[in-house]
Amino acid sequence: MTPEIHVTVDPEAAARAAGEEVLGLVAGAVAARGRASVALAGGTTPGLLYRFLAARGRTGAPWDRVDFFFGDERCVEPTSPDSNYGLARRTLLDPLGVAAERVHRMETERRLPVAAAELYERRLLAHFGPAGPRFDVALLGMGADGHTASLFPGSDALDELGRWVVAVRAPEGYEPAERITVTLPVLNRARAVLFLASGASKAAAVAAVLGGGREGGRIPAAHVQPPGGRVAWFLDRAAAGSIGET
Ligand code: 6PG
List average pLDDT for each run of 10 residues in the chain, which is 246 residues long.
93 98 98 98 97 97 98 98 98 98 97 98 98 98 98 97 98 97 98 98 96 83 96 98 70
pLDDT at position 214 is 78
C-alpha–C-alpha distance, residues 107 and 115, integer Å: 10
Q: What is the residue with the minimal CA distance to atom 7 of ligand 1?
A: 42
Mutate to test the pocket of ligand 1, among 150, 179, 201, 209 (most ligand atoms within 8 A of CB): 150
Residue type, 62: P
Question: How does strand 192-197 pair with strand 178-182?
Answer: unpaired
The residues, any chain, with a CB within 8 Å of residue 159's CB and separated by 6 or more, are none
Closest atom of ligand 1 relative to the 147 alpha carbon: 10
178 CB within 6 A, ligand 1? no
CB distance 226 to ligand 1 below 6 Å:
no
Give yes or no for residue 143 CB within 6 A of ligand 1: yes
Closest CA to 104 of 136, 49, 66, 52: 66
Q: Is the pTM of this model over 0.85?
A: yes
- In the prediction, which pLDDT does 246 show? 47
Q: Give the model's pLDDT for residue 244.
A: 61
Would you say 174 and 192 are in contact if contact means Cβ atoms under 8 Å apart? no
Q: Is 149 in the pocket of ligand 1 (CB under 6 A)?
A: yes
**CB-ligand 1 contact for 72 (6 Å cutoff):** yes
CB 57 within 8 A of CB 86: no
Tell whether ligand 1 has an atom less than 6 A from the beta carbon of residue 86.
Answer: no
> 194: closest CA among 221, 168, 214, 174?
221
Distance 31 CA to ligand 1 centre (A): 31
